[in-house]
Amino acid sequence: GNGIKVLEAIKKNLQSPKVIIFTNYPYPQYRKRYMDAGADFFFDKSTEFEKLVDTVKYLVHNCS
């Protein structure tokens, strides 16, 4: 819904930030929709918290 519209607006900017989706709705169709709209990462809140933490740490240290 609205999250997709916000994501698309953010990604129109050439200097767009990395976008991480952290959701309780990790269904494949949602993952596909968000990734197709430009999300850089998509994590399930119930099972992928550590992946989120690792990804944020990586981005902090390796992206400028």
User: Residue 1 above 70 pLDDT?
Assistant: no
Query: Residue 55: which CATH number?
Result: 3.40.50.2300
Predicted structure pTM score: 0.83
Number of structural domains (the chain) is 1
Alpha helices, DSSP H, located in 1-64: 2-11, 28-37, 49-62
* pLDDT for the residue numbered 63: 82
Full domain range(s) for residue 49: 2-62
User: Residue 29 above 70 pLDDT?
Assistant: yes
Give me the helix-helix angle, 28-37 and 2-11, nearest 10°: 30
Angle at 22 between CA 62 and CA 15, to 5 degrees: 45
Confidence of residue 39 (pLDDT cuts 50, 70, 90): very high
* pLDDT for the residue numbered 44: 98
CA distance 62 to 9: 25
Residue 22 phi/psi, 5-degree rounding, is: -125, 105
